Amino acid sequence: MRTPRGERLHIVFTGICNAGKSSLVNAIAGRTLSIVADHPGTTTDPVEKSMEFSALGPVVLVDTAGLDDASVLGSLRTARTNDVLQKADIIIFVTPGNRAPLQCEQTILQKLQQREKPIIVAVTFSEAPSNKEKVTWLEEYKKLAASQDTQNKHRAVRGIYYVSNTENTGIESLKRGISSLADTIEKEITPLEGLVNEGDSIMLVTPIDSAAPKGRLILPETEVLRDALDRNCTVITVQPAQLGAAYANLMQKPKLVVTDSQAFSYTASVLPLHQALTSFSILFARKKGELAWFRDGIAMLDRLNKLNTINLLAIEACTHNRTHEDIATVKIPAMLHAKTGVPVSVTAIRSLSDKPPNEFFDIAVICGSCMATRTLFKAQIAALHEAGIPVVNFGLALAWGSGLMPRAIELFPEYSILRESSYTFINTAQSV
C-alpha cells in the first residue's frame, strides 16, 4: 500500500516570485513537476510530489506561489501558500543569490521563523556572480546558527546551501542537509502505541461505511490493522452483526477491542464491562495529537444541556460526498440533540481556511484527520484554542453520546495525566 499523504513529512518550498522554487523542486524530484518560466506568478496553486527521501522516509515536496505576487490573484495565491505552510514539517526558503535581498524577503523569513519549524535557506542561481548584499544578509543567519544564545536559537536557520538549477550543482548537498533534520522532526506515534504488546490479540469491529470507497476499508481501519500485524498481534476482524458470536467463541478474550465510533453503542452492549474498548477515531486523536488537547472539549460536552442552542462547528477534512448518513452534518448533531434536548445549529467546513473561527461557536468537532499531517492537525487545534473554541474529535463526541466516557479513553497511559493535571496548549498557528 502506498504511504498515505497524511503520513508523509511535508517539505514546503517558499519565497518570492522567480526565486527558482519550481526549478529547484524539479531538480530534487528528478522530473518536471512544476512549469518553469521567467514570468512572475507562473506557479499558482501548490504543486505536490510524493517521493522517498534519505533518512526522512516518505515525504511530499510542495512548490508554492511567490509570496510577493502583486497580481490580481496574488492575495489568493498567498493565502493558498499560507495554508500549505501550516502543513509544513520543513520549510525551504528559496532566495536568488544574484539579487540583493528585498525588504519583503526579510519580512517573509522573519515570519517563517515565528512558526518555529526547521528552516533551510536554498540560494539559487549560484552559477551567476553572487550579490554582496545577499551574502552579507545570509552571513548573519550563519552567525546566529553558530551562536550559543539559546533565547534566539529558534530563529536560526538550519543550513544555507548554494545551488544551481541550470547546472544541477549543490542539489545533492541540499538533499543531505534536508535529510540531516530527521531527528528534529516531531514523529507521530502508531495507532496502537503503548496499548498492546507483541503476541496480544485484538478485535476490530468494522462496519462498512457508506461513505467509504467501494472495495476498501477506511484509512484508520487499514492503519490500525497494519500496526497490529507489525506488532505480531492476532487480529480478529468482524462486522457488528457477527460481533456477539465471534466474541463468545473466543477461548482467549482480546487485549483490546477497537470499533468504528458509529457502532460504539452496539459494540458496548455486546461486550462485558471489563473489556477494554475504544474507537479508530479516538486512536487517531492520540496519533495525530494529544488527548490533553481535547480536555476542555470533553468538559464542554457535559455543559451543552444548559444552552438554548448549540452552535456547532464541524470540521471534516475528507472530500467525500456528504450523504443523509453524514457523520459531521447529520449523525453527530442528531446525537447531541438527542442527548441534550437542545437544538443544534451546524456550520460544516473542510478546513479552518474555509471559514476561520472568528465567530462564536460553543464547541467544535473535528474528524480523525487521517488524511492530515500531525503538523496540520496541531495548527488546526491551536487555532481553535486561540479562538476560545473547545474541541473534541468525532470519536470522543460519539463515545460521550454513547455513555462510554471515560471507558473509551481510560485504557490510554496518559489518561491519568489528562484527568488530574492542568494543561496549557502552546499556540503555534502563525501566518506569513
**pLDDT, tens digit (0-9, with 9 covering 90-100), for 302-314:** 999 999 999 999 9
The closest alpha carbon to 350, from 325, 321, 323, 310, belongs to 321
Cell numbers 523569513: residue: 109
CA–CA distance, 399 with 406 (Å, rounded to integer): 8
Write down the mean pLDDT value for the chain: 83
> 261: domain range?
201-282
- Count of domains forming the chain: 3
- The reported pTM is 0.77
**What digits encode the pLDDT tens for the residues 42-69?**
555 678 888 888 788 888 999 998 887 6
**What digits encode the pLDDT tens for the residues 193-247?**
999 999 999 999 998 765 555 556 788 899 999 999 999 999 999 999 999 999 9
Same domain, 383 and 294: yes
Same domain, 163 and 21: yes
Report yes or no on 22 lying in a domain: yes
CATH number of the domain that residue 396 is part of: 3.40.50.11410
Same domain, 171 and 233: no
Same domain, 111 and 67: yes
Torsion, CA 203, CA 208, CA 213, CA 219, rounded to 10:
-20
Contacts of 45 (CB under 8 A, 6+ apart): 65, 77, 80
CATH number of the domain that residue 141 is part of: 3.40.50.300
**What digits encode the pLDDT tens for the residues 255-294?**
999 999 989 999 999 999 999 999 999 999 888 888 888 9
pLDDT at residue 3 in the model? 67
Percent of the chain whose predicted confidence (pLDDT) is above 70: 81
Q: Buried b vs exposed e over 15-46: b needs ≥16 C-beta within 10 Å?
A: bbbbbbbbbbbbbbeeeebbebeeebbbbbeb
Where is average pLDDT lowest: 141-155, 221-235, 262-276, 363-377? 141-155
Cis peptide before 406 (omega within 30 of 0): yes
In this predicted structure, the answer to whether residue 187 has a pLDDT above a threshold of 90 is no
**Pick the residue with more confidence: 169 or 36?**
169
